Amino acid sequence: MTDRVGFIGLGIMGRGMTRNLLNAGHAVTVWNRTAARMEEFVAAGATAAASPAALAAVCEVVILCVSDTPDVEQVLLGEQGVIHGIRPGSLVIDMSTISPQATRDLAARLAAQGVAMLDAPVSGGSEGAARGTLSIMVGGSEADFARALPLFQAMGKTITRVGEQGAGQLVKLVNQILVVVNMLAVSEALLFAQAGGLDLPKTIQAVAGGAAGSWMLSNRGTQAIVRDFRPGFTIDLQQKDVRLVLEAADQMGLPLLATGMVYQLYRSLQQQGLGHEGNHALIKALEHLALRQVGAAPDA
């Protein structure tokens, strides 16, 4: 019998992921803190639960994709949390990006109740979640990974078991170093192109297919030059991940110069009230230093 699936957290990412589970034919029960966000999924065939505990009581696999470490702890262990409804033999899959150490602690807490856990953070942005093309980095046992694989295949394209519990989150932090330092390079390069009087779309077109090409350049760089700073991933959530990277590096005694710089630049943008904008608004911090602006809005 196939597992009944519960999905908690219908945010930017969770919405697309849940939609793809439904499209693949899975029976899905949903719970979201802001209840109105469940309505469109009930209309699409999902069942709404009254709480995380109530959801866990009717599902063998519970997936969550919420914001930060305390939010995962709240959803799993809080008053109405998953732990109060879930039965032994069930599987929790955390697809949020949170602390690797907290992940190992939560896994131990669930194991004491006979419940298995995978950490399975994702990359690929809101586009990847909507299209079912996410990269999924999984930590946990081989057997639990095999059990979850059909669900991962409904949501993602590159699905890799990278090690035991917590390893998925550590690989996600590797991913985040690459994302933010790349966005810093994209920002600096576009500012340089603007100052040099270049045609920005043509410049991106010329370099995107070569050695300097990247997802951030093609997707977020292209948005930045038309000053579209709507979030695929907000600065506030990005900064949460940069903080997780720096905390882990601190525990390892590792200096991370470029990531540390990005952390300070995002902090300055948060202080300007821009935390709700997309992570590619990093370019605004450099614009501020250079007293120049990149590109123009389409209707400007």
Task: Tell me which DSSP letter residue 49 carries.
Answer: -
Chosen residue from 4, 33, 84, 157 binding ligand NAP by CB under 6 A? 33
**Nearer to ligand NAP by C-beta: 135 or 198?**
135
* Ordered alpha helix ranges (H), the chain: 12-23, 39-43, 52-57, 69-77, 100-111, 125-131, 142-155, 167-195, 200-208, 215, 222-224, 235-252, 257-271, 282-290
User: Which residues are bridge partners to 270 per DSSP?
Assistant: none
Give the nearest residue (CB) to ligand NAP: 11
| CB distance 98 to 72 below 8 Å | yes
Contact by Cβ (8 Å): 61, 91: yes
135 touches 158 (CB < 8 A): yes
Looking at the Cβ atoms of 119 and 144, the one nearer to ligand NAP is 119
Among 18, 29, 32, 259, the residue binding ligand NAP under the rule CB under 6 A is 32
240 annotated active-site: no
What is the pattern of x (binds ligand NAP, CB under 6 A) and - over residues 214-233? Answer: ------------------xx
Is residue 46 a contact residue for ligand NAP (CB under 6 A)? Answer: no
Least separation in angstroms between residue 134's CB and ligand NAP is 8
If we measure between CA atoms, which residue out of 83, 79, 35 comes closest to residue 55? 83
**CA distance linking residue 277 with residue 269, whole number of Å:** 9
Pairing of strands 47-48, 134-139: unpaired
The site that binds ligand NAP (CB under 6 A) totals a number of residues, namely 26
Binding segment (CB under 6 A) for ligand NAP, from list 18-26, 65-73, 109-117, 281-289: 65-73
Region from 19-27, 108-116, 119-127, 194-202 binding ligand NAP, contact rule CB under 6 A: 119-127
**Phi, psi angles (nearest 5°) of residue 212:** -90, 0
List phi, psi (to 5°) of 61: -125, 125
Residue 191 or 242: the one with the smaller Cβ distance to ligand NAP is 242
Closer by beta carbon to ligand NAP, 65 or else 224:
65
Site residues for ligand NAP, 256-285, by CB under 6 A, read none
Q: Does 10 bind ligand NAP (CB under 6 A)?
A: yes
Of 38-46, 64-72, 181-189, 221-229, the window that binds ligand NAP (rule: CB under 6 A) is 64-72
Among 49, 59, 75, 242, binds ligand NAP (CB under 6 A): 75
In terms of CB distance, is 130 or 226 closer to ligand NAP? 130
Pairwise CA distance, residues 198 & 203, whole Å: 7
User: What type of residue sits at position 91?
Assistant: L
Distance in angstroms (rounded) separating the CA atoms of residues 216 and 230: 14
Using CB under 6 A, list all residues that contact ligand NAP: 9-14, 32-34, 37, 65-67, 71, 74-75, 96-97, 122-123, 125-126, 232-233, 237, 241
Active site residue ranges? 172
